[in-house]
Structure 1
Amino acid sequence: MNTLNRKVLSIFVLLFLLILLGCVNNKKKKSTESSVTEETQAISKPFFKLSLAEWSIHNMIMDKTFNPIDFADKAKEMGFEGLEYVSQLYKPLYKDSADSKAALQEVLDSLKMKSEANGLKNVGIMVDNEGDLASPDEKERLQGVGNHKKWIDAAAFLGCYYVRVNLFGSEDPTVWVQQSVKSLTDLAIYAKTKGIDVIVENHGYLSSNAPLLVEVMKGVNMHNCGVLPDFGNFCLKREGGEQGGAKCIEEYDRYGGVQQMMPYAKAVSAKSYDFDKDGNETIIDYGKMMQIVKDGGYKGYVGVEYEGTRLSEEDGINATKKLLLKVANELK
């Protein structure tokens, strides 16, 4: 091989090595970029799923500017995965019917169709005004238990996993615990046959006394009976002994309360009232609260429940959702 041929061959070998090195480096670069993208996506994905509590739009529904049948449409539009219905918001649609049972079924048919069309999960039904489950009067208590069963049936039909109930009735802590355990046991036994959980929200008075509520959970001791920790409902006593509306004069520690409830939590309610210029809730430390939720090992649905008045319901919902996602990225 002459000198010229050797030089040409050397040039080709050098070019080949340069091209090969470039391909390797480019592959490494793409692999690094892919890893960064995957890591970013992992960080931005919260440890919980987002649901919308229908009470967040109760004013729109009650003033008849929004049809509750379209709840799934609104939740989808606002970027939620799950739906948490409120029983009392549908009562006007069936209560005056000659056949209220059939009318309620028509409502449920429509809600199921809407949720499926939007690809959303029916998470639960928040049941109100169906009787005091902690009433010291046995007849009243049993009537309340019976009234709640139709909503367990409704939840099963919709594909929900829970019904949320209230524990109102006796003002005597001992009697309250005793009656609450009996009612929840009755409901949990029935709900078990339907694949439904019965959960209790801290909703004022004795139900907001976390240690008492935990005592009730221990008394029931059933897998499908739990609690719904709400970030804001820890008022133990209001002026004039009112159940709602009046000024709260005694409150249980919200952070300690949620922490005590978390071992029994089957859902979480992210209550909000107002926000400062930086987007933080003005009453509740969301970072502290969501750290408690995360440390409790919870990975289910967190329901946005805006109850403020300064912002519109839609703006309040969006502000709450934005804060939850922001906080999720900041938690340890």
Structure 2
Amino acid sequence: MSTHPTRRNFLTKSALGLAAASLAGRSLSAAHHKSGDHGHAHADTWFDISLAQWSLNKDFWSGKRDKMRFAEITKREFGVNAVEYVNQFYLEGFTQSVTKELKKVSDGEGVKNVLIMCDRCGRLGDPDANEQTAAVEAHIPWLEAAKTLGCHAIRVNAHSEKSESYGTQLDRTADGLRRLCEIGDDYGLHVIVEPHGGLSSNGAWLVALMDLVGHPRVGMLPDFGNYGSKREGWTYDIYRGTAQSMPYAKGVSAKTHHFDANGEESTVDFRRLMQIVKDAGFTGYVDIEYEGQDIDPDTGIKLTRDLLVKLGGRL
């Protein structure tokens, strides 16, 4: 076995050291939480912090961690008091009894349920009218679940047929999204769109979509890592996309991938992105969504959390 440190080992050891030092000097214990405040991980942050369940997706898919204890894990292991669920982990055998159990766990831990990220529900802009209606209706159980959990929103995908024109996809997706917003209004819930592939990763198209839907329940979940699509071979400036999206934001996804030895996100200008968020007057939930490969998810989550806390006190 080689005794030379690999890049992965170096980053892991550096990240672990930074996380430990940060926790020692800036404890996230209850003494540093705002009294009665669910999301703030530090008294000085101008936004609330939540944990996106996708950050631990490998553990939930493998069964290493219990998806039903997500709120407990978030509070006890990461010191975060708010969660954002991903419906994919609960699709098999889902009933509202599952929702009630999740609510019981979150209430027991004093954790705020923020939203449910909804995938595999069909395309809201499907060119087939029956398929489009089925996609709208497939979101209803998640609206019901979100209502029971006390969430403020569900996150949906604004997808259509990619082979069709920019304008055609816009019109069809706006129609399906508006219909879903009308149903969401009955539940008192927002329906928010995340840049998530196809034209939904184009900031200008998303703005046009918001304006065309024109419903008070519609909104966006800007994601620092989802503007443009490497898989589809095109780029979009993430700073421009974030700035375009913020006027419609009802949440923010602070996605991270890599950290340097100083605990800074090394793939994007994270400070600049958070400054854009602050300049927009946003004070809601910013979620931790770690998707990196160089270090383990637990460390990535803690480093993202600590970076948010730091910027929340300095910007």
Percentage identity across aligned positions?
40
1:181-207 Cα distance to aligned partner (Å, 9 max, x none): 111110111111111000000012200
- Structure 1: gaps (5+ residues): 1-42, 95-102, 242-248
Q: Does 1:229 align with 2:228?
A: no
2:269 counterpart (279, 285, 295): 285
2:190 and 2:223 map into 1 onto residues whose CA distance is: 17
Q: Which runs of 4+ in 1 moved over 6 A?
A: none
TM-score (norm 1): 0.80
For 1:1-332, what aligned pairs fall within 5 Å after superposition?
45-77=44-76, 78-92=78-92, 94=93, 103-171=94-162, 172-236=165-229, 238=231, 241=232, 249-331=233-315
Counterpart code for 1:47:
W
Q: CA deviation at 1:231?
A: 0.2
TM-score (norm 2): 0.84
2:257 and 2:210 map into 1 onto residues whose CA distance is: 29
Question: Partner of 2:267: helix, strand, or coil?
Answer: coil
Counterpart code for 1:226:
G
1:47 and 1:183 map into 2 onto residues whose CA distance is: 34
1:62 and 1:235 map into 2 onto residues whose CA distance is: 27
Q: CA deviation at 1:237?
A: 5.3
RMSD of the alignment, in Å?
1.2
Asked if 2 retains the 8 angstrom alpha-carbon contact of 1:52 and 1:305, the reply is: yes
1:215 and 1:148 map into 2 onto residues whose CA distance is: 23
Q: CA deviation at 1:167?
A: 1.3
Counterpart code for 1:205:
G
Asked if 2 retains the 8 angstrom alpha-carbon contact of 1:165 and 1:198, the reply is: yes
Asked if 2 retains the 8 angstrom alpha-carbon contact of 1:131 and 1:144, the reply is: yes
- Structure 2: gaps (5+ residues): 1-41
More helix by share: 1
1:315 and 1:69 map into 2 onto residues whose CA distance is: 22
Q: How many residues align?
A: 271
Q: CA deviation at 1:81?
A: 2.0
Question: Partner of 2:95: helix, strand, or coil?
Answer: helix
Q: CA deviation at 1:44?
A: 5.3
2:271 and 2:123 map into 1 onto residues whose CA distance is: 35
Counterpart code for 2:212:
G
Asked if 2 retains the 8 angstrom alpha-carbon contact of 1:267 and 1:300, the reply is: yes
2:314 and 2:52 map into 1 onto residues whose CA distance is: 24
Question: Partner of 2:253: helix, strand, or coil?
Answer: strand
2:227 and 2:247 map into 1 onto residues whose CA distance is: 18
Asked if 2 retains the 8 angstrom alpha-carbon contact of 1:49 and 1:81, the reply is: no
Q: CA deviation at 1:330?
A: 2.3
Counterpart code for 2:202:
N
Q: CA deviation at 1:253?
A: 0.3
